[in-house]
Structure 1
Amino acid sequence: MPIVHVNGIELHYTERGQGQPLVLLMGLGADGSVWEEHVRVYEQHYRCILVDNRGAGRSAKPEGPYTTRMMALDTIGLLDALGIDQMHLSGISMGSAIAQEVALATPERVRTLTINCSWSECDAYTTRIFETFGAAYQAMKADDFQKLLQLIIYTPAYHEQHQDRLKEGQNSALTNGNPMPVHAFQAQCSACMSHHTTGKLGAITAPTLITVGDQDIFTPVHLSLSIAREIPHAELSIFEGSGHTHHWDRLQDFNRITLDFLNRHQ
């Protein structure tokens, strides 16, 4: 099992494909395997490195709180352990916040940066969402919490069209033999709430792609627009009619747009 000892913890990762390294960081409560529908495309061109962030998957789950800066140092430690000097870097949601911190800490290592459904700091609304998620994860049954999460990250149209898939996700939450501990989930929520790179992102010089759904009610589009204003060279791709899960709602478009971006900057 591929594990490295970094930043005081064991960090689990998997590798797929060959080519220039592409490091993939997933969001709140999720492990690296959730990239699967994208990696099937990416691995045909790149050496994909899927990271289980601190607290998730098969990585260590120390007591919190965590910060996105702390998890960025975990990622940088992984790069050191694997001998990777330069890589493409992509993150979804919390993973995109971690990716910002990696790009700020080690700009010379980031060949390209892709940040999806992101924020540079929480506003009052988004803070309340993370607070609610942290409390609900402790108080609710796994399937009920999954339903709450689905209501926030998927659009009403997606609910109308994909009831079977959503219910399958709820059932999977009940049968998960290795659920994320409450303390680890809440520690990741703390990292999301304390994330603050506003005023720093202009230092990012790597080619940057920002993607977001215009119907995102978790990390609303104005948060991504704020990042785009700070990184003036960034490309912005807004997915109309899609929400926080635009990377799944519009899977083929997302894979095509992000892969084209990567290929243009090899």
Structure 2
Amino acid sequence: MPFVQTNGINFYYEERGSSSAEPLLLIMGITAPGSVWEPHASYWQTDFWCIIGDNRGVGLSDKPVGPYSTAQMADDYAGLLDALQIEKVSVVGCSMGSTIAQQLAIRHPEKVKSLVLMCPWARCDNAAKAIFQHMMHCKARFRPEEFSLYIQQLIYSKASWDNEQVALDLEEGRKSAAIDPFPQPLHGLEGQAAACINHNALPDLLSVQQPTLVIGGKEDIFTPVWMAEEVTGAIPNAELYLYEKSGHIFHFEQLDDFNPRVKKWLLSH
């Protein structure tokens, strides 16, 4: 299994596609290992060399006691790029991954060619901070399948819950969470949540000159539309696209449109 030493931790990553193609770094969100990218990476790998990491605190990467910061986690990825001898990369970041991507562009601008920021935020208001605090409380007290249900309620739209097949799939997901052989430890989630709560890149986003696509769902209750709009307004070369009847996990709810849309945008930027 591929690991690199970066920023003081053992960092797990995987690759999809040919290393002769344009590199594409994929950064996932809170609680999630890099394997969640699979439905997207399996599509994009025909055109890109996809590099997928497990963020510190989850998956097979090290899980030191936190708190973590988004700047620290961006430096984790900068070390990964150096280890792979990648000078410049397009970056797609989802949720917490979008905050890490912002910091990568701010702290290591020479490494970033373009950005796709999925359901992002530049700063947390009190409501967002409360969500992350409640997430930690639920993780500490709930069985894994109960915690999975809470996360599902945060990220799926009403349209998904109203679809009986999707509802059955979500139930199966909760059953899988109960027997996950590599569950995220509480301290790993706490470290990531601290990074999310304390992320405030708004004053620095003006310095991000790379072309940026901000993309999300209009019914996202986790990171509401105002957050995506604020990020778009703060980055000089950013454009915004929002899906109707879609939540935080719009990229699964709108998979058939999302994958080719992002591929087309990346190929032209």
Q: TM-score, normalised by structure 1?
A: 0.98
- Superimposed CA distance per residue, residues 70-124 of structure 1 (whole angstroms, 9 cap, x where no aligned partner): 1000000101111110111010000000000000011111111110001000011
User: Which of the numbers 58, 61, 71 marks the counterpart of 2:73?
Assistant: 71
Partner of 2:149: 147
> 2: CA distance between counterparts of 1:65 and 1:231?
27
Q: How does 1:169-180 map to 2 (within 5 A)?
A: 169-180=173-184
Q: Residue type matched to 1:180 in 2?
A: Q
Q: Which amino acid aligns with 1:250?
A: Q
Paired position in structure 1 for 2:5: 5
Q: Match for 1:21: what amino acid?
A: P
SS of alignment partner, residue 203 of structure 2: coil
Distance 1:132 1:201 in 2: 28
Q: Which residue of 2 aligns with 1:185?
A: 189
Q: Match of 1:217? A: 221
The aligned amino acid for 1:103 is A
Q: Distance in 1 between matches of 2:108 and 2:182?
A: 33
d(CA) in 2 for partners of 1:25 and 1:33? 10
Give the aligned partner of residue 255 of structure 2.
251
What RMSD, in angstroms, separates the aligned Cα atoms of the two structures? Answer: 0.7
Name the aligned partner's letter for residue 22 of structure 1: L
Q: How far apart in 1 are the matches of 2:205 and 2:241?
A: 18
- Separation in 1, partners of 2:172, 2:64: 30
Secondary structure, aligned partner of 1:199: helix
CA distance in 1: counterparts of 2:110 and 2:62, whole angstroms: 28
- 1:47 aligns to what? 49
Question: In the alignment, what sits opposite 1:199?
Answer: 203
AA aligned opposite 1:4:
V
Where does structure 2 lack aligned partners over 5 or more consecutive residues? Answer: none
Which one-letter code corresponds to 2:169 in the other structure? R
CA drift of 1:232 comes to: 3.1
TM-score normalised over the length of structure 2: 0.97
Q: Partner of 1:236: helix, strand, or coil?
A: strand
**Paired position in structure 2 for 1:156:** 158
CA distance, structure 2, for counterparts of residue 32 and residue 179 of structure 1: 13
Partner of 2:245: 241
In the TM superposition, what is the alpha-carbon distance from 1:257 to its structure 2 partner? 1.3
84, 96, 108: which one aligns with 1:94: 96
Q: Which amino acid aligns with 1:221?
A: V
Deviations 1:115-169 (CA, angstroms, capped at 9, x unpaired): 0001000011111100000110011000011111111110122011111110011
**Equivalent residue, structure 1, for 2:235:** 231
Segments of structure 1 that go 5 or more residues without pairing to the other structure are none
Measured against aligned partners, the alpha-carbon deviations of 1:205-250 in whole angstroms (never above 9, x if no partner) come to 1111000101000000100100111113212111111010110100
Q: Deviations over 1:164-200 (max 9, x none)?
A: 1100110010010111111101111111000010111
SS of aligned partner of 1:114: strand
SS at match of 1:99: helix
Task: Summarize the alignment of residues 132-143 of structure 1 with structure 2, pairs less than 5 Å apart.
Answer: 132-143=134-145
Letter in 2 for 1:218: F
Q: Distance in 2 between matches of 1:247 and 1:78?
A: 25
Match of 2:169 in 1: 165
> Matched residues in 1 for 2:256 and 2:206: separation?
31
Count of aligned positions? 265
- Residue 54 of structure 1 aligns to a residue in which SS? coil
Moved over 6 A (4+): none
Q: What amino acid is aligned across from residue 38 of structure 2 in structure 1?
A: E
SS in 2 for 1:228: helix
Which residue identity lines up with residue 10 of structure 2 in the other structure?
A: E
Aligned equivalent of 2:106:
104
Sequence identity, in percent?
41
